[in-house]
């Protein structure tokens, strides 16, 4: 996992008005906290932060007044309509330290023949990993699975140094039989009318 360097500025004004002014300058208000240190209120460059957050659990090297802190995003608030960044909470981490994060689960392969659906019970798998080696995602094979089959947390192949942060028998995804849609009363009536004609 690569580090993304971001230059932050200390934020001294608070409240909605101050946050709006920060956003108008294409910056994002945030808080940097962890390891027993007092929370530091900062602003970050909006576009660079948006690009960095495209990678889940990205490792950020945040430069605050000449001091660089490693951090991972803990909470990201977005505008519900525009999707723009409103605020970000960053958790300070140290090299070699283990952290609990959630990593996306992807699937590969084809299900057994038949009309089946894959239900993702967990879209992201809770794991414990070294802060500077957080996997971007995990991939599980669904090849040959049929209705009623499921994949448990213990079945998911994890990279070296990563361990589960949930019970082994937690269902990650399951295969369901596709439900045939019931024809509506109108469709049945049209079908009968067509048959009589």
Distance CA 37, CA 49 (A): 23
CB within 8 Å of 133: residues ≥ 6 apart: 1, 159, 161, 162
Whether residue 105 contacts residue 138, with contact meaning beta carbons closer than 8 Å, is answered with yes
Instruction: Specify the pLDDT at position 183.
Output: 53
CB within 8 Å of 100: residues ≥ 6 apart: 126, 127, 128, 165
Token reading at 193: 């009318």
Phi, psi of 176 (to 5 degrees): -115, 150
Phi, psi of 20 (to 5 degrees): -65, -40
Q: How many CB atoms lie within 10 A of CB 12?
A: 7
Instruction: Specify the pLDDT at position 54.
Output: 80
Per-run averaged pLDDT (10 residues), the chain, 197 residues: 76 72 78 82 82 80 83 81 79 84 87 80 88 85 86 88 89 82 54 52
Residue of 171, 133, 126 lying closest to 150 (CA atoms): 171
Instruction: Specify the pLDDT at position 190.
Output: 56
Instruction: Specify the pLDDT at position 18.
Output: 72
Instruction: Specify the pLDDT at position 47.
Output: 78
DSSP 141-167: E-TT--TT-EEEGGGS---TT-EESS-
Phi-psi region for residue 57, left (φ > 0), alpha (ψ -120 to 50) or beta? Answer: left
Rounded to the nearest 5 percent, the helix, strand and coil shares of the chain are 15, 45, 40
Instruction: Specify the pLDDT at position 194.
Output: 52
Distance CA 51, CA 54 (A): 6
């Amino acid at each position: 996992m690569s580090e993304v360097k971001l230059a932050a500025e200390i934020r001294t004004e608070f409240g909605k008005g101050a946050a709006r002014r920060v956003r108008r300058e294409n910056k994002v208000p945030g808080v940097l906290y962890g390891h027993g240190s007092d929370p530091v209120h900062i602003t970050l460059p909006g576009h660079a932060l948006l690009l960095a957050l495209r990678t889940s659990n990205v490792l950020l090297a945040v430069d605050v007044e000449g001091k660089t802190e490693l951090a991972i995003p803990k909470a990201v608030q977005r505008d519900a309509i525009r999707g723009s960044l409103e605020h970000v909470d960053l958790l300070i981490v140290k090299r070699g330290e283990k952290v609990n994060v959630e990593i996306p689960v992807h699937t590969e392969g084809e299900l057994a023949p038949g009309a089946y659906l894959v239900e993702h019970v967990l879209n992201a798998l809770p794991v414990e990993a070294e802060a500077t080696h957080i996997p971007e995602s995990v991939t599980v094979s669904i090849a040959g699975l049929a209705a009623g089959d499921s994949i448990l947390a213990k079945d998911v192949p994890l990279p070296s140094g990563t361990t589960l942060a949930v019970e082994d028998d937690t269902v990650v995804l399951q295969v369901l039989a596709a439900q045939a849609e019931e024809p509506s009363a109108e469709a049945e009536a049209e079908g009968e009318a067509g048959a009589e004609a």
